[in-house]
Amino acid sequence: MILAKTTSPKLIMPSKKRAALVYTPSGMGPYDGELQTFHDHFGVLPSLSLGYVASIFEAAGWECRYFDVVPHGYTPATLVNDVRAFNPDLLCFSVYTYHFHENRYWIRLLKEATGKTTLVGGVHLGLYPQETFAYKELDFGLVGEAEANLPQFIEAFLNQSGWSEVPGLIWRDGEQLRLNAPPALPNEVDHCPNPARHLWPIEKYYTFVSTRRNFTPMITSRGCPFRCIFCEQGSKHFRAHSPQYVVEEMEKCIKEFGVKEIDMFDSSMTVNKKRIFEISELVQRKNLKVHWSARSRIDTVNYDVLKAMHDCGCYRIYFGIESGDEQVLKRLKKGVEIDRIRQTISDCKNIGIETLGFFMIGCPGDTLETARKTLKLSLELDLDFAQYNGVRALPGTELYDMVLPEQGEDFWREYIKDPKKSTFVARAQCNLSQEEINRLLRRFYLRFYFRPTYLIKRLARIRNLEELKKYSRAAIDMVVKG
């Protein structure tokens, strides 16, 4: 790409080291499981990962700046201009397997424009390090959670030595690529800093279903003790922040950043019921006024837990329901029955908590008949929102291991090596074609969101003109593109 000519900025000569945190946009690809319309209207969110990284750099005395391409409205030329003006010592990025080449475009752009050292992180690096670092614009990579090795990397970077002592570091020793043994996951996570929200354009963030600004995502735990075959977090070591830590971060969001809505991005916030009761008690004791939402499994809540969540400001829960067929749920290792799903959603409705259900088409054992059951259940439950996705087998999951014999190769490994590769068998033990799945997804969205009774109920709950515009634009796109 040829960059537009811009006035060369005057470089700021830093008095201390500087890190530029760059959050790159991701478009749609043939490997994505969602409809284009949903992707286009999902919302704008910050990178929590880069937020934690920035906090660690700042604790080490570095100056940081967060460059978020979408909300800042950066073009390649304006991004280069602003990063040059900041004059960082390090360019930091998160990379994702299924958007790797989009990530790499921005990394290469800034590397070539500034000549600065690049540092990348993300789960992806632990899966395909050799293939990833075949691209010379990547200088260093860290595998594992940043709190476990970024401080050691910072020290090695300042000294320009000691690379072999940094756990989880991917680095070049001359022409040889070296991979240090990864660090152990920290068992105690309350020592971890909050993400550096003061660097974010926080007033610009929202999701399709959020209703208040300022808005921010937050996590209260890491990992997940359950073993759903499609999830990257499945069976990862579960570690939760204490109720005191959680509520203090909520309070900081409210008082320092004017946050009125928080979205808890844990895989399942409700693993430990006792912790939920304690969080609820602390929020009420501090009289914190904030709306928040959370993700949960159906089988980790009961009426009392839901009531406690509602009493301290939880107004929406996202449930991974996935399928309306019992046998498909068993193959997914969800460990939940349809009747329990009905009861939990009913409890939410009676308490006054909105619900959003996640559903998947193309699961092992899925047929046109089981897909119809999924649509029927999603309509029957009287959910406030529904999201339907085609199954996407991600590397590092049991589902992907099931796909490999059908695929005949490690697709994601080959995709990292060749960005032109796009033919992917995204399903295992399922004969639905991609065309059938796409057709079902469009039909399901139209059936769910264009019911007259649903439209009347949703319109009655709209609080302001911004919400009305947001939903209207999505509805028009769904009709036109669907």
Domain harbouring 136, CATH code: 3.40.50.280
What 3-state DSSP class applies to 11? coil
pLDDT, tens only, 225-249: 999 999 887 667 899 999 999 999 9
Q: Are residues 213 and 146 in the same domain?
A: no
Q: Are residues 215 and 153 in the same domain?
A: no
pLDDT exceeds cutoff 50 at 8:
no
Tokens 């302001």 belong to 464
Q: Are residues 143 and 240 in the same domain?
A: no
Q: Are residues 125 and 170 in the same domain?
A: yes
pLDDT, tens only, 68-104: 999 999 999 999 999 999 999 999 999 998 889 999 9
Instruction: For residues 322-332, give the mean pLDDT.
Output: 96
* % of the chain residues with pLDDT over 70: 89
Q: Are residues 229 and 331 in the same domain?
A: yes
Q: Are residues 228 and 121 in the same domain?
A: no
In a domain, 41, yes or no: yes
Task: Show which of 179, 196, 223 is a domain's final residue.
Answer: 179
In a domain, 400, yes or no: no
Q: Are residues 147 and 270 in the same domain?
A: no
In a domain, 397, yes or no: no
Find how far residue 316's CA is from the centre of its chain: 18
Q: Are residues 364 and 243 in the same domain?
A: yes
Task: Show which of 136, 162, 179 is a domain's final residue.
Answer: 179
Q: Which pLDDT band holds residue 209 (cuts at 50, 70, 90)?
A: confident
Q: What is the pLDDT of residue 463?
A: 73
Q: Are residues 279 and 371 in the same domain?
A: yes
Q: Are residues 121 and 173 in the same domain?
A: yes
Distances (CA, A) of 211 to 292, 412, 461, 466: 10, 37, 10, 9
Range of the domain at 33: 18-179
pLDDT exceeds cutoff 80 at 354:
yes
Residue 406, CB-side half-sphere exposure with 13 Å CA sphere: 16
Task: Show which of 164, 179, 194 is a domain's final residue.
Answer: 179
Enumerate residues 6+ apart whose C-beta is below 8 A from 97.
123, 124, 127, 128, 394, 395, 412, 415, 416
Q: Is the pTM here over 0.75, yes or no?
A: yes
Number of compact structural domains in the chain: 2
Angle at 447 between CA 445 and CA 451, to 5 degrees: 120
In a domain, 372, yes or no: yes
pLDDT, tens only, 280-319: 999 999 999 999 999 999 999 999 999 999 999 999 999 9
Q: Which pLDDT band holds residue 383 (cuts at 50, 70, 90)?
A: very high
In a domain, 195, yes or no: no
Q: What is the pLDDT of residue 219?
A: 97
Structure tokens at 289: 């006024």
Instruction: For residues 113-141, give the mean pLDDT.
Output: 95
Q: What is the pLDDT of residue 5?
A: 36
Q: What is the pLDDT of residue 468?
A: 65
Q: At residue 232, what is the residue type?
A: E
Instruction: For residues 257-271, give the mean pLDDT.
Output: 95
What is the residue-averaged pLDDT of the chain?
90
In a domain, 38, yes or no: yes
In a domain, 382, yes or no: yes
Q: Are residues 302 and 378 in the same domain?
A: yes
CATH number (domain holding residue 294): 3.80.30.20
In a domain, 396, yes or no: no
Q: Are residues 59 and 143 in the same domain?
A: yes
